[in-house]
Amino acid sequence: MASRLKSQLHMEFDGSHPSLYGTYLAACVVYLTLYGGSLEGLQYDYYGRIPSDITQFLQGIAAETVAAHGL
């Protein structure tokens, strides 16, 4: 799944601005950095625009990233 999502984290027109998935991932990282805790149980999916398997995967990546960097 990671390789499939890698190309979907940025907008196609410039490759530098985050896509919806990239924005979701960034929001998860910021939340965990500021408030700590866990994203377990978070059900927000941009009004159904992000499938639940993708939100869970991105939440896991965010948690791993924050833990790995001691944030």
Cα radius of gyration (the chain): 12
Say which residue the tokens 């985050």 belong to.
18
Distance linking the first and last C-alpha atoms of the chain: 25
State which amino acid sits at residue 63.
A
pLDDT in tens, 31-61: 999 999 999 999 999 999 999 999 999 999 9
Task: Name the token pair of 5.
Answer: 């999502």
Please report the pLDDT score of residue 17 as a whole number.
84
Q: Is the pTM above the cut of 0.85?
A: no
Query: E strands along 10-49, which residues?
Result: none
Cα distance between residue 56 and residue 16, in whole Å: 24
